[in-house]
Structure 1
Amino acid sequence: MRLTIEPLDLQRDLDLLHGWVTHPRSVFWMMQGASLADVRKEYGDILANPHHDAFLGRADGRPAFLVETYDPAHSVLAGRPELAAGDLGMHVLVAPPDGAPVAGFTPQVFAAVMEHCFADPSVRRVVVEPDAGNAAIRRKNVDAGFVELLEVPLPGKTAMLSACTREAYEAAAGLGAVAHLTPALMERAHRHLVAKAIAEYSHERLLAPVADPERPGWWTVTAGPSSYSFSARRHALEHWVVDPASIAPMPDAQVFVAELAPVLGIPDSLLPVYLEEIASTLAAAAWKLRHRRVPVTDLVDASYQEIEAAMTEGHPAFVANNGRIGFGLDDYTAFAPEAGATVRLHWVGARRDLSRLTLGEGLTEQSLYAGELAPLTRDRFAGRLRALGLDPADYLYLPVHPWQWTNKLAITFAPDVARRDLVHLGEGDDEHQAQQSIRTFFNRSRPERHYVKTALAIQNMGFLRGLSPAYMAATPAINDWVAATVEADAELRSCGFSVLRELAAIGYTGDAFHRTAGPSAHRKMIAALWRESPVPQLAEGERPMTMAALLHRDADGDALVTALIKESSLDADAWVRSYLRAYLRPLVHCLYAYDLAFMPHGENLVLVMADHAPVRAFMKDIGEEVAVMGELPLPAEVERIRGTFPEDVMALAIHTDVFDGVLRFVAAILDEDGVLPEEEFWALVRATIEEHAADHPELAAAAARYDLLRPDFLHSCLNRLQLRNTLQMVDITDQAQSLMFAGTLRNPAARQETR
């Protein structure tokens, strides 16, 4: 039986309501002799009261029950010491049966009503005050998890004040670990994801919404046999902001994608994989709605890792962005970034002659391990090897993700463990926290210690998240060269721009998979790298924050970037100028001066905040996501990062990765929130680029060649890549050749004379 709850329509439902509340079975409702006018006034007053609501419940579409919710602090219970913040009052009336009673119907209704109440994550307890003489309803309350507190005198009755916490309800309902998988939360997840799908697929011109001629701001899209209407606003760069609540009919994200599969170009053989990633993204969204409701006001002064765990959207452009295929529910709560749990990494001894450790400048094997592992920990690892009759000098220490050890190394690499080519040394002593990039960990016990990036063989957002020992061997040398180039540049120093170096990389290659003819994902299962932490490089009064946070809206729709601007001493114009100087100007300079391009999306950049405004930035994830696109001389071990590209593609290092990948979202948020009109935002972007050009006439030829202020630029699309191949959307060794385009986009930062 399908139970639904909708707002009461007094004009439509009055006769029905009158019959219910005056029925002899409803004696405890205290309206036995009420006239139609009495009922109209009573419920008219309720609907007009901002602290009281009334709802009609249906069973398979048939009116079947009445629900009232109210704020106890604005009721006859006001002032009682038993009340607490997060309380929601509730009344429920099951309609008299019009035929034979349905066994178990009332408990089903009660469960649906409790779910409705707890669908709002801000609700911590449901409060009821039934007549103390109503033994039947009191038993049902207790069965549902209510605790009877005390009898209280109320107008017309002596009530048994009772309360049910969220945890007690979930325990009584047997929900446990799947408490987030409720119809109400899943509906919000579906609506949010379909709104994002419409927005991003339309942005990439996979969909073409049709304007409703009779309703300005309303649009329609057709998906196979279905048609969906919605309200939306369009911003620069064909950026859509779709209202999730407006989408009709009620959408199902998997059905929506399946209906669109021919249009989206998803191969039939890969559609199930994409649908699985959609399902996982929905599950994660519901979990975050249930467990991760952090208002942006609490994040304005939050710590680096509190903000990292509070991010709820994932990648802003990819629709299926929380796939994580391979994680079970227990893995999700243990290892997902939004869970915010601390993790102890596992360590293995990898036989030295079957492994490779490469180190950055100024680092030795001894200094690396001394900085990352306490002496007692190193002694414990060495003791474990000696207990097995092994010489510790024959082994390197390699950190692994706990999931990777349990699900891959101990199974897929069982022969290597049995040969003692890999030896499990146990957990490390430090507590780590997963970052938004999921396989990278921040050291919570010792924040000054390095990040650790581990191989993780789950399928997520178009890739199996492994690490290649062969590919990473050059990572420290690449990082050394990039860091030296950045540190030697006066312009970059003046902007405070620097990189977090990946100082060391380690990988094991003694397995059978490295003896096969062709490359495979199995060669990327046992590897790790260490990256500098930003914490030791901060001055007093500075704090780090992932740039992804600037795109974050909380469960109530409030934006963190808006809250930061309001909290700072700067006006919106000055705040954005400071941000663009910290972020955009250094990237433009690297491109002009060195043909050097980064992958500067939100999670790859750490902003340094002072007085709630960005003042400088750290670039990270250098080894895999940096390119030199010109003839700049490079050391032989760094030559891998050189690429040859058409000039219009070279400019996409700013046009796609910065303008379209980050700034279109920030600009739209500020415009939507009434903080800064998007025309003014993009004028500041243009001014930042023009000011750099004026300060560096020696780079005029490069500025003309890249022409970042041209009228339009190639429209490079991300979802198209994932839709084409959900298992490996690009070849990481030749990413430019994998790009997919959808015409051009009008450049909102273009010179005024070309606009």
Structure 2
Amino acid sequence: MSQSYYWEQANRKILAKSLSELCYEQALSARQELDKSYVVKLKSGVSYEFTARLTIWDWLQIDEDTIQRNQGDEELVADDAAQFFIDAAEDLKITASTLGNLLHELANTIASDVAILEKREDQAAETMAKFTDEQLQCYLDGHPKAIVNKGRIGWGAQEFKAYGTESGEYVRFLWLAVRRDLTVNGHSEDWNWQQLLEESLSTNQMQSLEAICRDKKINWREFIPLPVHPWQWQHHIRQHYAQLLSRGDIILLGEFGDEYLPQVSLRTFSNRSRPQALHVKLPLTVLNTSCYRGIPGKYMQCGPSLSQWMQELCDRDENLSARGTGILQEVAGLHVPHLHHEQVKGTPYRYREMLGATWRQSPASHCSEGERHLLMAALLQKDSSGKSIAAVLINSSGLSIEKWLEYLFDSTVVPLYHLLSRYGIGLVAHSQNLTLVLKEDRVTRVLLKDFQGDLRLAKGDFPERSDIPSSALAVLDQLPPNYIIHDLFTGHFVTVLRYLSSQLMLELNFSETKFYSVLAQVLRSYQKKVMKENAKMAERFQCFDVFRAHIERVCINRVRLSQGYDDSAERPVPIVGGDLENPLWLSEQKPTKGESKNHTISPVEV
């Protein structure tokens, strides 16, 4: 296929995604014309027509090949996503500055998508389903909800090729020695800094590093070893930390150690030659998927104790241990505050997250004989023919669709809901934060990760979590239950299941009402069992009511459009649109309710 083919294909995909997500977030209005035909009329005089199916989530599943751009009497095939945003700028209420930056992110995203489409062209879903987790992540489209999900502002073509996940290129870290008293750090009792070094370096490499340390008179009682991404070093650390470097408080040791593969999150790396070795998460000061991908220092001291406590919680809790729920523990964290920015109240957050690292357990270290792990995002991935990895796994498991989903929901949703209702712990469990463990292609358990900002606590009396580490309690956000429940509703149902249910409907003709009926049955069965053991849990289930009729529509793309690209002291926070009918509630009503119907999706003020 030619480059122009892939460019047009990438544009159509992101155009369909933009129309569907912006209509879902009620930034645009889609009116149904005929049976499956919709039109979005814009103030610019341009309209976009397409064929789509309205899903149970009040979200349009658009056939990208049917999108047509109409201007006056002229009807054109729509294959220019940038032109769409120019056409819709007045409707989206975005400034010229915001639009310019959005087009920058869009251009980067499309360039990356073109590379992925080309890479995936000859890979059938059946083949990709057999890839290792690490290998498969190089083929994934990324967050389905974020329109420009590979913006990577700060990188050019060379960096995309050298460090982008889709390139499949390996990276070797640079290593620094940082004076211990200038860091914020923590590690579990089972690990020390020498062991962390050994996780990344061979024996020969360790000997070479030790020789350099002797030559530079580095005493590890006074210094701590710290890996740094080579791009981050060249573009930020050399300049921003020049004072500490000149004083010898930070010392560059050079490039050492194993090769690492960037995962789909871009800043987390898996060890190429030793899959069971710790993953390493490093800051990258690029704007990607809504924010700069730094590492906040406030979690470094509590991360190891919090994740260890979470694993102990999973081990002692009967409902979690019975399901094999596990934690990819953050065994160590290290942050080097900036001398000057730390003194500036309200300085852009990216300047406070530039230098540090987190070491986290690998999923491979949690798998036994006959098991394998897979990022949940992989379920949503389709090949060039439209076949998904989820469908392949269902077919190869030998189970019915219903039974396969029961395994999935009992292994993933039940633990998330149990943590929420029993302990008041909310996890933003999007598809890149959940690692599935499979046996014979059915999901048997889940591994949870990423508690730096994606774990929050519900306010209230939860004696079951009274032994949570005080260091974690001091930094974790605590919000009312009606906010925390969105870590499940929005973080998982909307961000993951919305796409899975619509895909199975399209591909396997498995109705969405049936999909959420299976989920409702699994949750009802769980509730019944728990209340039989502890009647007081009925109050918690009422407090965290996943079966309520309506839920709030949380919007992430509108945040970027309304906030623009100015620097801020805090990361962007989603906004709320109009209410949605809850698919779990709908699934327990009459069988026909919630299926596709004539509808107009209208914009609202927020």
Kindly report which structure 2 residues correspond to 1:420-499, keeping only aligned pairs within 5 A, or say none. Answer: 420-499=248-327
In the aligned structure 2, how far is the partner of 1:729 from the partner of 1:689?
42
Whether the 8 Å CA contact 2:187–2:332 is kept in 1: the answer is yes
How far apart, CA to CA, are the structure 2 residues paired with 1:726 and 1:571? 47
Aligned positions of 1:68-87 closer than 5 A: none
Q: Which has the higher contact order (CA 8 A, sep 6+)?
A: 2
Task: Quote the residue 2:599 is aligned against.
Answer: none
Question: After superposition, what is the alpha-carbon deviation per residue over 1:116-152, rounded to whole angstroms, capped at 9, x for unaligned?
Answer: xx33xxxxxxxxxxxxxxxxxxxxxxxxxxxxxxxxx
Counterparts in 2 of 1:732 and 1:475: CA distance versus 1, 3 Å: farther
CA contact (8 A) 1:231 1:243 kept: yes
1:716 matches 2:545:
no
Select 1:368's aligned residue among 196, 199, 212.
196
Q: Which residue, 244, 250, 255 being the options, matches 1:416? A: 244
Which residue is equivalent to 2:49? 229
Q: CA deviation at 1:654?
A: 2.1
Give distance in 2, aligned partners of 1:466 and 1:556: 37
Output the CA distance in 1 between the equivalents of 2:274 and 2:46: 54
Matched residue, 2:129: 300
Match 2:574 to one of 713, 717, 739: 739
In structure 1, what residue type is equivalent to 2:77? M
Shift of 1:217: 0.7
Letter of the 1:234 partner, please give it: L
**Range with greater deviation from structure 2 (220-229 or 431-440):** 220-229
The answer to whether the 8 A contact 1:461-1:726 is kept is no
1:557 equivalent in alignment to 2:386: yes
Which whole-Å CA distance do the structure 2 matches of 1:475 and 1:392 have between them?
22
Q: Give 1:334's aligned residue.
A: 162
> What is the rounded CA distance, in whole Å, between the counterparts of 2:112 and 2:396 in structure 1?
30
Q: Deviation string for 1:143-171 (max 9, x for gaps)? A: xxxxxxxxxxxxxxxxxxxxxxxxxxxxx
Q: What is the aligned partner in structure 2 of residue 620 from structure 1?
A: 449
The aligned residue for residue 250 of structure 1 is 77
| Alpha-carbon distance change, 339 to 627 in structure 1, aligned in 2, over 3 angstroms | same
Which residue does the alignment assign to 2:604?
none
TM-score scaled to structure 2, two decimals?
0.89
Instruction: Give the deviation of 1:429 after TM superposition.
Output: 2.1
SS class of match (2:77)? coil
TM-superposition CA deviations, 1:168-200 (whole Å, max 9, x none)? xxxxxxxxxxxxxx3332211111111000111
SS in 1 for 2:451: coil
C-alpha separation between the residues in 2 aligned to 1:691 and 1:333?
Answer: 49
- The match for 2:58 among 229, 238, 257 is 238
**Which of residues 646, 650, 654 in structure 1 aligns to 2:488?**
654
Distance 1:508 1:240 in 2: 45
8 Å Cα contact 1:354-1:510 kept in structure 2: no
Match of 2:542 in 1: 704
Equivalences for residues 119-134 of structure 1 within 5 A: 119=2
Question: What SS class does the counterpart of residue 410 from structure 1 fall into?
Answer: helix
Structure 1 residue 653 displacement after superposition: 2.4
**Distance apart, 1:753 and its partner CA:** 5.0
Is contact 1:463–1:726 with CA below 8 Å preserved after alignment?
no
Alignment of 1:545-624 (within 5 A): 545-624=374-453
Structure 1: gaps (5+ residues): 1-117, 120-181
- Give the drift of 1:266: 3.0
Partner of 2:337: 509
8 Å contact from structure 2 (residues 11, 81) kept in 1? yes
CA deviation string 1:33-57 (max 9, x = no partner) = xxxxxxxxxxxxxxxxxxxxxxxxx
2:5 corresponds to 1:184:
yes
Identify if the C-alpha distance between structure 1 residues 643 and 421 changes in structure 2 by more than 3 Å, giving closer, same or farther: closer
Q: Give, in whole Å, the separation in 1 of the partners of 2:435 and 2:569.
A: 26
Relative to structure 1, the CA distance from residue 217 to residue 695 in structure 2 (aligned partners, 3 Å threshold; closer, same or farther) is: same
Alignment match, 1:345: 173
Q: 1:694 aligns with which of 519, 528, 535?
A: 528
* Residue 396 (structure 1) aligned with residue 232 (structure 2): no
Query: Using a 3 Å threshold, how does the CA distance of structure 1 residues 675 and 609 change in structure 2: closer, same or farther?
Result: farther
Query: CA–CA distance in 2 between the matches of 1:582 and 1:452?
Result: 26
| Cα offsets for 1:601-649 (capped at 9, x unmatched) | 1110100111111111101112321111033334321113554434432
Does the 8 A contact of 1:355 with 1:510 survive in 2? no
Q: Distance in 2 between matches of 1:442 and 1:469?
A: 22
Counterpart of 1:331, as a letter, is: E
Q: RMSD across aligned C-alpha pairs, in angstroms?
A: 2.1
Aligned twin of 1:17:
none
Tell me the CA shift for residue 261 of structure 1. 2.5
Q: How far off its partner does 1:511 sit?
A: 3.9
Tell me what 1:639 maps to: 473
The correspondence for 2:369, drawn from 537, 540, 560, is 540
Which SS does the other structure have where 2:41 is aligned?
strand
Percent of pairs with identical residues: 27
Following superposition, the deviation at residue 727 of structure 1 comes to: 4.1
SS in 2 for 1:545: strand
Unaligned runs of 5+ in 2: 69-75, 594-606
**What is the alpha-carbon distance in structure 2 between the residues aligned to residue 392 and residue 463 of structure 1?**
35
Distance 1:343 1:407 in 2: 16
Q: Does 1:752 align with 2:588?
A: yes
**Distance (whole Å) between structure 2 residues aligned to residue 748 and residue 286 of structure 1:** 34
Q: In the alignment, residue 58 of structure 2 is paired with which amino acid?
A: E
1:510 to partner: Cα distance? 5.6
Residue by residue over 1:380-425, the C-alpha shift from the partner in whole angstroms, topping out at 9 and shown as x without a partner, is 2332233335445432110111211122222333343333222222
Following superposition, the deviation at residue 504 of structure 1 comes to 0.4
Q: In structure 1, what is the Cα distance between the partners aligned to 2:296 and 2:481?
A: 30
3-state SS of 1:430 partner: coil
The separation in 1 between residues aligned to 2:63 and 2:568, in whole angstroms, is 32
2:38 is paired with a residue whose SS is strand
- Is residue 678 of structure 1 aligned with residue 512 of structure 2? yes
3-state DSSP of counterpart to 2:415:
helix
- Contact persistence 1:191–1:250 (CA under 8 A): no
From the CA coordinates, give the structure whose radius of gyration is larger.
Answer: 1
Change in CA separation of 1:262 and 1:647 when aligned onto 2, cut-off 3 Å: farther
User: After the TM superposition, which of the residue ranges 588-597 and 471-480 deviates more from structure 2?
Assistant: 471-480
